[in-house]
């Protein structure tokens, strides 16, 4: 995974988080997870989990909280 | 080919709207009509045509020609039937000895000052003066006029001062003053129908002449926007389409739909053989009511332009020249490549891009190709780059992405908020209808960084122009909500019954926070607090309030949030669910709505149903006999990222030019260059085709059957008026390709595709070609609950049940100005060009816009030493380009503006890859830039042009 893609995905996840941060906490966490589940293609989610598994550098806290509810893609 | 000769009678004056009915007698026949109807129209309704010259039913009667005289028992004189309204019990005579004599006298006067060259006149056979001479039985003209307007020289050979030469300056129509009867229909059409006020009558009596504004103005130098309404209204050859002058009169007409913008105007394509003679807006078209703009009426020349590619072409590498091949060869080549990629890299390594310009049926097939044949969900559409936030925002708040109204609704609007849209350029026919309503007294609030024409134009002045800093929409919309909530201007009754009250409380508490007040945000937004408060009060208290918005809302990193904010405003003020109100996205391309409806997005099947829903997939799986992937596919930017990463290899792109229309050109080019099979299906070798291996030539909207769905969800028929020049309609090409890949499809007509759509999609269940034939057009949802379609949404309740208020926190875009890039660039479009310009650049429309220019405020120009008309370099952190500067105070200091209609400009080299948080709709509307004087094209432009020229080489077929 190129540094470029990582930066992009982190950026996108954080952008989503900024919208949901203004919601009540639980709703926000659920909102991020379902948004990423609904709109991110498995390749993107795989890379997202590579980032999370490597410590989630750069991701906003709410994204990290939501990660538990994001579907890990089954290996293709 | 089906031929539709629809009698399009002229009733002389517009229909009256009154509910009170009046009965009278005309020539011994009883007739009952609405109060306010003219006697002329009443007579026409029972089939009696009173002779007329200055009246036509698209405009109000004026009563100047005196040909339509009638007698009314018990009334003195001979009133004009066009200006005399009906009254109960009138006994009207339209024909008797006295009337006959009077009418002949009138005609004699007209004809004595009119050239008698009927046989060679371009209006021969289509001239009302000629018709009327016949109708009144004019047999000779007893005197020869001494003074005329039509003789270039008088009898002694001196120049006639009354003679004016023909004005041929407009590329599409000519004005020949010699044939003018000064009936003023053209003037009234320009005012009432178009709302431009370009024409006036100069002088009085015998001296009166039609003129394009000032005496020295020609059609092309005047304010005229070339909509053609005057040409259509003119009863003589004075204002005449040049195509009629060149070809002659048409012999049949076919009703079809404009392929340019989301208004979706209906047209009569008037034909002679298979030659298109002219396009005339169709009076019974429900989107346009007989009006059109310059693009739809005149700019169809691209369909027969020499640049059109008519043979399929292939090549091994994008460095090779193209090789023309037969259709079967092209199909085999394309299918082998795609199959090879799937075999090697898996079924997720390929995908499609559907077009917002093609028909619903064609789009449906393209997404079916990826879902059923490639077996993935990698489908996206250019709607991604314009209205995807509308889908998200309205879906969340109301439960459906649908715009809530039809265009007729504007006739009952009292206050309009227009935000991030420029309808006089982008949606001209809607703009004309809006202007008509504004002239009748409705109020307008414009929210736009730029002073668009509607802020201040002929007989129109916006009540408020909130000239915000680009990128601050959310802050402005929230400040409007703040004002409405804190000043208690909201519609509590509506909110209690129609929305979730608890959610409203949270929302109200959020917006009421002082940090959202206009005073707190004015520094950020650049909008004066008092102005904003006044606008908010006007909207909340001014009667029926409607919000219309465009790409200036969606193409931002907070695009979806602004759409949510707009929906909140409508609910807050109770402006949903009846005529005259609503939330109205003005969609850009002709079939943006349709391409979204048809399942072009990677996460949803046709009808906006997420691929994760088992029950929905099952419906498709059982009909198509394949397994549908339950994971969302890649969106355009994700496809390009994946291509650069090496996991996405093949693309079938129909009718879109992503290299020109998508942001960050360099990234798009890199993505395309990394793919191993790019199939472009288009009319022209577009910019994307520079990176393609296969080219399928496309067919124009004149060459195929199908449907387009406009911004009001109206499904309009597109009808084939001529055979496809390259052999196949686009849906046939997609089918051939699918079958080459083993699909086994067997559609023989687009109506069968629509039947399949109806079977699979509940909101289309009641749609089929027969119903469309009967009803003319249908607004979805159309099904058992709404057999006639649905002009207005959410009448008794929101689609999702209770309307949902959602808080809208302003998040500043990361695209910020700084010392290197101190200006904000925003982009837009202009009337005469369309989107990336592939079509309009190939028409005479270039006379209005032959290049993109950069608008810059005088202050910013001065400090940079930029002069008007001079080349400037425009640079952002993504790249740089050059174009000419135009100094104007339409933009605020700190803001620059350009259009993106010409590939040479490469405006998208400048735009960045920032995008909407929810949908990845690119942030076209805000880019930090620097402007400096320059001598010409940048290195990138030159490199690009060299690559394009190299790539466009075609080897002649052996
Ligand atoms: S140009 Fe045509 S419509 Fe206008 S006044 Fe002359 S004849 Fe009438
Ligand atoms: S073409 Fe349209 S804008 Fe131009 S003069 Fe005629 S009606 Fe007016
Ligand atoms: S471009 Fe739009 S407004 Fe103009 S004729 Fe076509 S559909 Fe109508
Ligand atoms: S048509 Fe009535 S006065 Fe001209």
- B439-461: pLDDT as tens digits: 999 999 999 988 999 999 888 89
> What distances in angstroms separate CA B479 from CA B532, B545, B581, one per listed residue?
8, 17, 21
Q: What pLDDT score was predicted for residue B836?
A: 61
Give me the pLDDT at residue B425, please: 84
- Residues above pLDDT 90, as percent of chain A: 28
- Classify residue B52 as left (phi > 0), alpha (psi -120 to 50) or beta: beta
Neighbours of B758 (CB within 10 A): 18
Domain ranges, ordered by start, for chain B: 21-135, 173-304, 313-386+592-779, 389-585, 823-951
Quick check: B946 pLDDT over 80?
Answer: no
- Yes or no: domain B21-135 corresponds to CATH 3.10.20.740: yes
Q: Which ipTM score applies to this complex?
A: 0.89
Cα–Cα distance measured from residue B56 to residue B234, given in angstroms and rounded to the nearest whole number? 9
Q: What is the mean pLDDT of residues B254-275?
A: 91
DSSP classification of residue B469: P
Q: Within 13 Å and on the Cβ side, how many CA atoms surround B272?
A: 9
* B776 neighbors B287 (Cβ within 8 angstroms): no
Average pLDDT over residues B780-807: 86
Distance of CA B63 to the CA centre of its chain: 34
Taking phi over 0 as left and psi of -120 to 50 as alpha, with beta for the rest, B744 belongs to left
- Give the integer Cα–Cα distance in Å for B110 and B135: 14
If you measure CA to CA, which chain A residue comes closest to B918? A16
Residues B830, B832, B837, B841: is their CA dihedral positive or negative? negative
3-state DSSP of B58-119? CCCCCCCCCCCECEECCCCCCCECCCCECCCCCEEECCCHHHHHHHHHHHHHHHHCCCCCHH
Name the residue facing B632 among A2, A8, A38 (closest C-beta).
Answer: A38
Give the C-alpha distances (Å, rounded to integers) separating B162 from A1, B148, B348: 78, 7, 74
Highest mean pLDDT among B156-165, B364-373, B385-394, B633-642: B364-373
Residue from B197, B219, B229 whose mutation best tests the ligand 2 pocket (most atoms within 8 A of CB)? B229
Identify the pLDDT of residue B4: 41
CB of B53 closer than 6 A to ligand 4? yes
pLDDT on residue B68: 95
Residue B6's pLDDT is: 45
CB < 8 Å to B632, chain A: 38-41
Quickly name the fold that domain B173-304 has.
Alpha-Beta Plaits (3.30.70)
Closest residue to A41, CB basis, from B638, B644, B808: B638
Distance, CA of B270 to CA of B287 (rounded, Å):
20
Neighbours of B460 (CB within 10 A): 17
A41: chain B residues, CB-CB within 8 Å? 377-378, 602, 631-635, 638
The mean pLDDT of B323-352, rounded to a whole number, is 94
Which residue in chain A is spatially nearest to B379 when comparing CA positions? Answer: A41
Per-residue pLDDT at B828 exceeds 80 = no
Encode pLDDT of B712-754 as tens digits: 999 999 999 998 989 999 999 999 999 999 999 999 999 999 9
**Kind and range of the H or E run holding B860:** helix B858-864
Residues 6+ apart with CB under 8 A from B939: none
DSSP secondary structure letter of residue B783 = S
Ligand 1 pocket at CB < 6 A: B 180-186, 210, 233-236, 238-239
**pTM across the whole model:** 0.89
pLDDT at B514: 93
Which ligand sits nearest to residue B53's alpha carbon?
4
Q: B389-585: what CATH class? A: alpha beta
Cα B465 from chain centre: 24
What's residue B686's pLDDT? 87
Q: Among B297, B294, B328, which residue's Cα sits nearest to residue B314?
A: B328
Give the start-to-end residue ranges of the domains of chain A: 3-69
Strands B880-887 and B871-875: antiparallel
The CA distance from B328 to B337, in Å, is 14
B317 C-beta neighbours (distance < 10 Å), count: 7
Q: A5–B561: do the CB atoms touch at under 8 Å?
A: no
Q: What is the C-alpha to C-alpha distance for residues B571 and B482, in angstroms, rounded to an integer?
A: 14
Distance CA B793, CA B784 (A): 16
Task: Give exposure, B235-258, as e/b (b: 16+ Cβ within 10 Å).
Answer: bbbbbbbbbbbebeebebbbbbbb
pLDDT attached to residue B831: 64
pLDDT category at B5 given cuts 50, 70, 90 is very low
CA distance B234 to B240: 8
Pinpoint the alpha helices (H) of A1-76: 3-20, 25-39, 42-53, 61-67
Q: CB of B883 closer than 6 A to ligand 4?
A: no
Chain mean pLDDT for chain B: 89
| Straight-line distance from the first to the last Cα atom of chain A, in angstroms, rounded to the nearest whole number | 17
Q: How far apart are CA B228 and CA B282, in angstroms?
A: 13
In angstroms, the CA B18 to CA B441 distance is 20
C-alpha of B947 from chain center: 33
- Quote the distance between the C-alpha of residue B531 and its chain's center: 31
Nearest CA to ligand 2 atom 2: B227
Residue-wise pLDDT for B269-324, tens only, equals: 999 988 999 999 999 999 899 999 998 999 888 888 888 899 999 999 999 999 99
**B845: region left, alpha or beta (phi > 0 left; psi from -120 to 50 alpha):** alpha
Q: Which residues of chain A have pLDDT under 70?
A: 1-3, 75-76
Residues 6+ apart with CB under 8 A from B502: none
CATH 2.40.40.20 given to domain B823-951: yes
B238 CB-side CA count, 13 A: 27
User: Which listed CATH number (3.40.1120.10, 1.10.10.10, 3.40.50.740, 3.90.480.10) goes with B313-386+592-779?
Assistant: 3.40.50.740
Cis peptide before B945 (omega within 30 of 0): no
């Amino acid at each position: 995974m190129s540094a470029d893609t990582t930066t992009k995905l982190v950026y996108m996840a954080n952008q989503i988080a900024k919208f949901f941060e203004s919601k009540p906490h639980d709703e926000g966490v659920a909102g991020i997870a379902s948004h990423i589940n609904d709109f991110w293609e498995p390749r993107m989610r795989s890379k997202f989990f590579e980032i999370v598994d490597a410590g989630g550098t750069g991701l906003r806290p709410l994204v990290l909280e939501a990660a538990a509810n994001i579907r890990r893609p089954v290996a293709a | 080919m089906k031929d539709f000769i629809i009698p399009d009678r002229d009733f002389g004056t517009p229909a009256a709207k009154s509910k009170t009915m009046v009965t009278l007698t005309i020539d011994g026949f009883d007739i009952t009509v609405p109060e306010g109807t003219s006697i002329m129209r009443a007579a026409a309704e029972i089939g009696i045509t009173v002779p007329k010259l200055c009246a036509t039913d698209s405009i109000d009667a004026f009563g100047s020609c005196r040909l339509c005289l009638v007698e009314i028992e018990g009334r003195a004189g001979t009133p004009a039937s066009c200006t005399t309204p009906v009254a109960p019990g009138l006994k009207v005579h339209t024909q008797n000895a006295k009337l006959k004599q009077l009418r002949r006298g009138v005609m004699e006067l007209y004809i004595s000052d009119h050239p008698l060259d009927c046989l060679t006149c371009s209006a021969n056979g289509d001239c009302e003066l000629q018709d009327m001479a016949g109708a009144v039985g004019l047999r000779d003209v007893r005197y020869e006029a001494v003074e005329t307007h039509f003789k270039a020289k008088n009898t002694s050979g001196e120049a006639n001062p009354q003679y004016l030469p023909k004005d041929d300056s407009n590329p599409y129509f000519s004005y020949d003053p010699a044939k003018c009867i000064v009936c003023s229909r053209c003037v009234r059409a320009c005012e009432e129908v178009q709302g431009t006020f370009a024409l006036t009558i100069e002088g009085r009596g015998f001296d009166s002449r039609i003129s394009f504004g000032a005496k020295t103005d020609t059609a092309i130098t005047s304010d005229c926007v070339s909509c053609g309404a005057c040409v259509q209204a003119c009863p003589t050859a004075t204002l005449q389409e040049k195509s009629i002058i060149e070809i002659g009169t048409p012999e049949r007409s076919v009703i079809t739909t404009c392929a340019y913008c989301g208004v979706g105007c209906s047209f009569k394509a008037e034909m002679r053989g298979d030659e298109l003679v002219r396009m005339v807006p169709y009076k019974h078209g429900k989107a346009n009511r007989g009006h059109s703009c310059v693009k739809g009426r005149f700019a169809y020349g691209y369909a027969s332009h020499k640049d059109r590619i008519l043979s399929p072409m292939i090549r091994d590498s994008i460095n090779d020249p193209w090789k023309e091949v037969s259709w079967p060869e092209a199909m085999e080549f394309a299918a082998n490549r795609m199959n090879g990629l799937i075999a090697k890299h898996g079924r997720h390594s390929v995908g499609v891009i559907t077009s917002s310009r093609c028909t619903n049926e064609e789009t449906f097939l393209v997404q079916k190709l990826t879902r059923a044949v490639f077996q993935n969900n990698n489908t996206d559409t250019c709607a991604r780059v314009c209205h995807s936030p509308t889908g998200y925002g309205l879906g969340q708040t109301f439960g459906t992405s649908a715009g809530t109204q039809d265009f007729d609704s504007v006739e009952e609007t009292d206050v309009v908020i227009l935000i991030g849209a420029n309808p006089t350029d982008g949606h001209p026919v809607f703009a004309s209808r809006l202007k008509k309503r504004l002239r009748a007294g409705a109020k307008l609030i414009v929210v736009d960084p730029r002073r668009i024409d509607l802020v201040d134009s002929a007989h129109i002045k916006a009540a408020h122009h909130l000239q915000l800093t680009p990128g601050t929409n959310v802050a402005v919309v929230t400040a409007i909500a703040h004002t409405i909530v804190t000043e208690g201007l909201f519609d509590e009754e509506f909110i209690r019954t129609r929305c979730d009250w608890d959610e409203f409380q949270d929302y109200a508490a959020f917006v009421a926070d002082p940090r959202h007040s206009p005073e707190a945000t004015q520094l950020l937004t650049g909008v004066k607090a008092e102005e904003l408060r006044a606008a908010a009060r006007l909207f909340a208290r001014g009667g029926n309030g409607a919000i219309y918005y465009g790409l200036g809302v969606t193409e931002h990193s907070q695009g979806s949030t602004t759409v949510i904010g707009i929906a909140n405003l409508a609910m807050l003020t109770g402006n949903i669910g009846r005529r005259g109100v609503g939330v109205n996205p003005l969609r850009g391309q002709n079939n943006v709505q349709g391409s979204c409806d048809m399942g072009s997005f990677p996460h949803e099947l046709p009808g906006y149903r997420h691929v994760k829903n088992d029950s929905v997939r099952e419906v498709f799986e059982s009909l198509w006999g394949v397994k549908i992937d339950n994971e969302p596919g890649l969106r355009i930017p994700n496809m390009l990222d994946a291509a650069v990463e090496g996991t996405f290899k093949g693309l079938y792109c129909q009718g879109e030019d992503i290299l020109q229309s998508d942001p960050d050109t360099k990234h798009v080019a890199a993505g395309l260059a990394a793919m191993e099979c790019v199939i472009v299906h288009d009319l022209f070798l577009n910019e994307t085709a520079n990176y393609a291996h296969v080219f399928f030539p496309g067919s124009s909207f004149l060459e195929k059957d199908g449907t387009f769905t406009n911004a009001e969800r109206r499904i309009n028929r597109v009808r084939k008026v001529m055979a496809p020049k390259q052999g196949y309609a686009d849906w046939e090409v997609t089918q051939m390709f699918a079958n080459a890949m083993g699909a086994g499809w067997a559609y023989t007509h687009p109506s069968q595709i629509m039947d399949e759509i109806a079977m699979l999609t509940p909101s289309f269940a009641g749609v089929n070609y027969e119903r469309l034939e009967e009803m003319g057009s249908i607004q979805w949802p159309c099904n058992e609950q709404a057999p006639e379609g649905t002009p207005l949404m959410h009448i008794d309740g929101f689609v999702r049940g209770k309307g949902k208020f959602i808080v809208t926190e302003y998040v500043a875009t990361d695209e910020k100005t700084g010392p290197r890039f101190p200006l904000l660039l925003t982009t837009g479009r202009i009337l005469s060009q369309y989107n990336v310009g592939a079509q309009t650049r190939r028409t005479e429309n270039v006379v209005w816009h032959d290049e993109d220019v950069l608008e810059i405020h005088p202050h910013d120009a001065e400090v940079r030493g930029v002069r008007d008309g001079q080349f400037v370099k425009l640079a952002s952190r993504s790249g740089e380009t050059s174009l000419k500067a135009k100094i104007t105070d339409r933009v605020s200091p700190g803001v620059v503006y350009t259009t993106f209609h010409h590939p040479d400009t490469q405006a998208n080299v400048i735009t960045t890859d920032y995008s909407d948080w929810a949908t990845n709709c690119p942030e076209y509307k805000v880019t930090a830039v620097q402007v400096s004087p320059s001598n010409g094209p940048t290195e990138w432009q030159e490199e690009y042009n060299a690559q394009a020229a190299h790539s466009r080489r075609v080897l002649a077929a052996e």
